[in-house]
């Protein structure tokens, strides 16, 4: 149970940059059973038709299969685009998968291509029902005069009957010439791990970043779940007051945003210690920026609600050096108005435990684990609001395989006794970011066991979203969040380590926006925490939010706009003839200041979501004011 441990090899490449270059020969032997008919374009009708394939030109250009002079070479599908369309699918090369596709298997797709300069195309494996949801999305933009091969493995999360899905090239985005050969789509059995199948492109599974229909649906959901009409009506001596000034300012929201950072960089001189050789190497020429790192992150700019120190409170680090700086880190966070989420009390791998743990007996190690949990919760009681009690138990298992899975339950029990007021969280690494949904199912199984079998009162789930590969599109991630929320009903979901890996900064920002739209709109997601923000500290620098010189990337500026402008309500104006001033505000806490002549009233209210409000109005009276929450909105009646 919960004992998955998958080794990952991440092939980092730029969007649309293909790393494997093949010669004129065929694709080689691929695994699994072929699903395509005439994938090598060898059969061509007298009228130019290509059996198995649907060719739709839409007046945009032509399709032609060219048979090479060398009998051993493969025929080439040549696509010439002479007109463009805002809907690239106006010109399309498509084949339905005329075989049953079983859940659990992997669709392994490959083809070779050449492309003229300035051309680009999109390739999909999609469902054949409106709005044509995408199982795979791939956009290629880089010209190539040599044959390049695409290989991509797509885990199948749902079963599909014959002709319910199709492979589709969308071609009318740009003018140019595309050549395709050796097309293959093979169904690989479920007992083959998709991680072992080479993927050499950055593809998106289960979605499409160019899906405006999905994006519009998400924005509609934000209007429904995260916003509500708010009207202020002013009276004086029971007479409605026009032209009274009303200032409406949102002071907090239930959706929190935080960031991860290295505690080791926040204490001057600490990096000189023996534990930080790797950090010193990475910062060899950037040491002068370290003080600015601290200044930027704790600047009280109102953008963030909490901080997660990714090192200082881990068991091994805390015992080695973290205990000496922990109080200073907590004080630094408090001074910036930030809560702290403790990461993490127990990660069941020896690599995160003190070295001495490796030689302990079963009983001694169990005692050490539980003693550590108890002492941490007692030491920081009232100072750390959230604890990730168990982290990565579906990724790392060597300690609880030795001790027994009950040690996970005992960690929560001991933590609750030591700090009854702290929020206790189960933390996961891969549920949202893995190629397969298996880690998510394992995490759900673990959470269900803790809650329903062991009687542990969890306060939430933490799920990682460090997207080293863009395998999981926002649409697919939405389905995973839905599954977690349904299986572990009532538990808030905290997304952590959010980072997107692309070589183009503007593209990173665009993709990050889609993920943030998803998280903000989802009713079960309570917070998002960004991964380490300084690219200089990352193995994949493209995943940062600040460049090496600590200048902000477009992704951070986009987040700042969302969090401080678009997703917060601050408006003011004058009441109309009926004494009213209204806005549509984001859900959260508000301060309302009403000024009439020389008199001023200051009111604090909570604006709840329209969803879930009772049928009967809720009335709150106090200090001469009345707040009415109805199914249609909230009215604040202010009396002078």
Phi, psi of 563 (to 5 degrees): -80, -30
3-class secondary structure, 295:
helix
Contact between residue 200 and residue 150 where contact means Cβ atoms under 8 Å apart: yes
533 vs 199: which has the higher pLDDT: 533
3-class secondary structure, 111:
strand
Max CA-CA distance within the chain?
97
Give the pLDDT of residue 31. 79
Alpha carbon distance 51, 37 (integer Å): 8
**Range of lowest pLDDT (145-159, 190-204, 218-232, 339-353):** 190-204
- pLDDT tens profile 412-423: 999 999 999 999
Q: What is the mean pLDDT of residues 441-459?
A: 97
Q: Which CATH architecture has domain 226-251+569-639?
A: Sandwich (2.60)
- pLDDT higher than threshold 90 for residue 374: yes
- pLDDT tens profile 502-534: 878 988 998 899 999 999 999 999 999 999 999
Mean pLDDT of the chain: 90
Q: Which helix (H) or strand (E) holds 258?
A: strand 256-261
User: Where in the chain are all domains bearing CATH 2.60.120.260?
Assistant: 33-201
Give the pLDDT of residue 389. 98
> CB burial class (10 A; 0-12, 13-18, 19+) of residue 215?
middle
CATH code: domain 255-564 is 3.20.20.80
281 vs 466: which has the higher pLDDT: 466
User: Where in the chain are all domains bearing CATH 2.60.40.10?
Assistant: 226-251+569-639
Q: What is the mean pLDDT of residues 17-30?
A: 39
Q: What is the mean pLDDT of residues 150-168?
A: 93
Give the pLDDT of residue 29. 62
Letter string b/e over residues 334-361, b meaning 16 or more CB atoms within 10 A of that residue's CB: eeeebbbbbbbbbbbbbebbbeebeebe
Q: What is the mean pLDDT of residues 211-229?
A: 90
Contact between residue 407 and residue 400 where contact means Cβ atoms under 8 Å apart: yes
- pLDDT tens profile 548-588: 999 999 999 999 999 999 999 999 999 999 999 999 999 99
- pLDDT higher than threshold 70 for residue 21: no
231 vs 205: which has the higher pLDDT: 231
Q: What is the mean pLDDT of residues 158-173?
A: 95
> CB burial class (10 A; 0-12, 13-18, 19+) of residue 435?
buried
Contact between residue 136 and residue 470 where contact means Cβ atoms under 8 Å apart: no
- pLDDT tens profile 99-121: 999 999 999 999 999 999 999 99
Give the pLDDT of residue 20. 33
3-class secondary structure, 112:
strand
- pLDDT tens profile 36-56: 999 999 999 999 999 999 999
Q: What angle do CA 184, 134, 222 make, to 5 degrees?
A: 165
Give the pLDDT of residue 478. 93
User: Where in the chain are all domains bearing CATH 3.20.20.80?
Assistant: 255-564
Give the pLDDT of residue 130. 79
- pLDDT higher than threshold 90 for residue 23: no
Q: What is the mean pLDDT of residues 401-406?
A: 95
**Range of lowest pLDDT (4-13, 96-105, 182-191, 521-530):** 4-13
Helices 362-379 and 406-418: angle between axes, nearest 10 degrees:
30
Q: What is the mean pLDDT of residues 364-381?
A: 98
**Range of lowest pLDDT (404-418, 428-442, 525-539):** 428-442
**N-term to C-term CA, the chain:** 64
- pLDDT higher than threshold 70 for residue 308: yes
Q: What CATH fold (topology level) applies to the domain 33-201?
A: Jelly Rolls (2.60.120)
**Range of lowest pLDDT (178-192, 294-308, 325-339):** 294-308
Q: What is the mean pLDDT of residues 327-339?
A: 95
Give the pLDDT of residue 470. 67
Give the pLDDT of residue 302. 78
Count CA atoms within 13 Å of residue 447 on its CB side.
Answer: 31
- How confident is residue 491, by pLDDT bands cut at 50, 70 and 90? very high
- pLDDT tens profile 598-625: 899 999 999 999 998 988 888 988 877 8
Give the pLDDT of residue 10. 26
Count CA atoms within 13 Å of residue 552 on its CB side.
Answer: 11
Contacts of 466 (CB under 8 A, 6+ apart): 433, 497, 498, 499, 531, 543
Give the pLDDT of residue 194. 86
Q: What is the mean pLDDT of residues 433-446?
A: 90
- How confident is residue 284, by pLDDT bands cut at 50, 70 and 90? confident
Of 610, 492, 583, the closest CA to residue 226 belongs to: 610
Of 179, 228, 158, 145, the closest CA to residue 73 belongs to: 179
């Amino acid at each position: 149970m919960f004992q998955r441990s998958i080794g990952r090899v991440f092939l980092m490449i730029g969007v649309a940059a293909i790393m494997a270059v093949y010669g004129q020969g065929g694709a080689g032997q691929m695994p699994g059973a072929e699903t395509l008919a005439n994938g090598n374009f060898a059969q061509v009708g007298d009228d130019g038709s290509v059996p198995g394939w649907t060719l739709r030109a839409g007046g945009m250009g032509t399709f032609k299969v060219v048979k090479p002079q060398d009998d051993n070479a493969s025929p080439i599908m040549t696509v010439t685009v002479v007109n463009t369309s805002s809907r690239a699918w106006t010109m399309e090369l498509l084949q339905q998968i005329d075989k049953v596709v079983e859940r659990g298997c992997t669709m392994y797709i490959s083809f070779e291509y050449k492309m003229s300069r300035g051309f680009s195309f999109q390739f999909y494996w999609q469902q054949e029902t409106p709005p044509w949801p995408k199982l795979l999305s791939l956009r290629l933009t880089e010209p190539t005069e040599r044959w390049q091969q695409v290989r991509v493995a797509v885990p199948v999360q749902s079963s599909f009957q014959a002709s319910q899905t199709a492979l589709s090239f969308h071609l009318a985005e740009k003018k140019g010439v595309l050549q395709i050969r050796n097309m293959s789509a093979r169904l690989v059995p479920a007992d083959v791990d998709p991680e072992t199948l080479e993927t050499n492109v950055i593809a998106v599974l289960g979605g499409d970043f160019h899906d405006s229909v999905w994006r519009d649906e998400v924005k509609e959901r934000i209007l429904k779940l995260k916003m509500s009409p708010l009207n202020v009506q002013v009276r004086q001596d029971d007479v409605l007051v026009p032209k009274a000034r009303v200032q409406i300012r949102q002071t907090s929201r239930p959706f929190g945003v935080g960031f991860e950072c290295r505690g080791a960089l926040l204490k001057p001189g600490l990096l000189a210690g023996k534990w930080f050789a790797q950090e010193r190497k990475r910062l060899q020429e950037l040491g002068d920026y370290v003080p600015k790192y601290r200044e930027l992150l704790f600047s009280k700019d109102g953008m963030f609600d909490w901080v997660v120190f990714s090192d200082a409170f881990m068991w091994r680090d805390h015992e080695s050096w973290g205990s000496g700086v922990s109080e200073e880190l907590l004080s630094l966070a408090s001074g910036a108005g930030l809560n702290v989420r403790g990461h993490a009390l127990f990660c069941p791998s020896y690599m995160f435990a003190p070295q001495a743990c490796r030689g302990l007996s079963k009983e001694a190690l169990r005692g050490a684990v539980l003693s550590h949990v108890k002492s941490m919760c007692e030491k920081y009681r009232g100072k750390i609001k959230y604890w990730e009690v168990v982290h990565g138990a579906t990724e790392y298992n060597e300690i609880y395989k030795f001790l027994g899975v009950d040690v996970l339950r005992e960690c929560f029990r001991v933590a609750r006794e030591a700090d009854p007021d702290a929020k206790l969280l189960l933390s996961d690494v891969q549920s949202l970011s893995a190629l397969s949904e298996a880690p998510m199912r394992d995490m759900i199984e673990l959470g269900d066991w803790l809650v329903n079998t062991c009687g542990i009162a969890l306060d939430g789930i933490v799920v990682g979203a460090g997207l080293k590969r863009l395998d999981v599109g926002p649409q697919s991630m939405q389905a995973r969040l839905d599954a977690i929320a349904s299986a572990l009903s009532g538990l808030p979901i905290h997304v952590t380590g959010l980072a997107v890996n692309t070589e183009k900064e503007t593209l990173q920002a665009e993709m990050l926006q889609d993920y943030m739209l998803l998280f903000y709109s989802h009713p079960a997601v309570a917070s998002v925490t960004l991964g380490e923000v300084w690219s200089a500290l990352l193995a994949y620098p493209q995943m940062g939010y600040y460049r090496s010189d600590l200048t902000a990337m477009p992704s951070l500026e986009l987040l700042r706009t969302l969090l401080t402008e678009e997703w917060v309500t601050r408006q003011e104006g004058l009441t109309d003839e009926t004494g009213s001033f209204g806005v549509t505000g984001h859900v959260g806490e508000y301060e309302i200041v009403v000024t009439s002549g020389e008199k001023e009233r200051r009111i604090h209210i909570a604006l709840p979501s329209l969803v879930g409000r009772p049928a009967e109005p809720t009335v709150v009276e106090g200090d001469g004011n009345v707040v009415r929450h109805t199914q249609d909105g909230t009215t604040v009646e202010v009396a002078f």
